[in-house]
Amino acid sequence: MELPKFLLGDNTDFPDAVFVIHTEFPRFIINLSNDEVEWFEEFDDEDEKEIEAEIENSIKEATEFYDREVARYDEDA
């Protein structure tokens, strides 16, 4: 199965949370309400330094994805 790079997620147990799931490496979920990130990957200190820019870019792309999706919903409303 081919997955999109980003998915939106919600859960009624967290009514104020807005989750974006990044399905490619480095895989993570970000809660855009508080910018908390949960990683599905394990990084050692050396790995983290090497992919720091990639991580920063992925989080930026996740935020842009959310903004684009919300704009599309607003257009349809």
The confidence score (pLDDT) of residue 34 equals 94
26 is a domain residue: yes
Q: What is the mean pLDDT of the chain?
A: 90
The H or E element spanning position 51 is: none
1 is a domain residue: no
pTM of the model: 0.84
Domains in the chain: how many in total?
A: 1
The confidence score (pLDDT) of residue 13 equals 97
Instruction: Show the domain range for 17.
Output: 6-76
Token pair recorded at residue 37: 């990130």
19 is a domain residue: yes
The confidence score (pLDDT) of residue 75 equals 82
> For the chain (length 77 residues), average pLDDT per consecutive 10?
95 95 94 93 80 87 95 82
How far is CA 41 from each of CA 2, 26, 38, 63, 77, rounded to the nearest angstrom?
20, 6, 9, 20, 37
pLDDT in tens, 47-63: 777 788 888 899 999 99
16 is a domain residue: yes
32 is a domain residue: yes
Token pair recorded at residue 55: 């991580």
Contact 5, 23 (CB under 8 A): yes
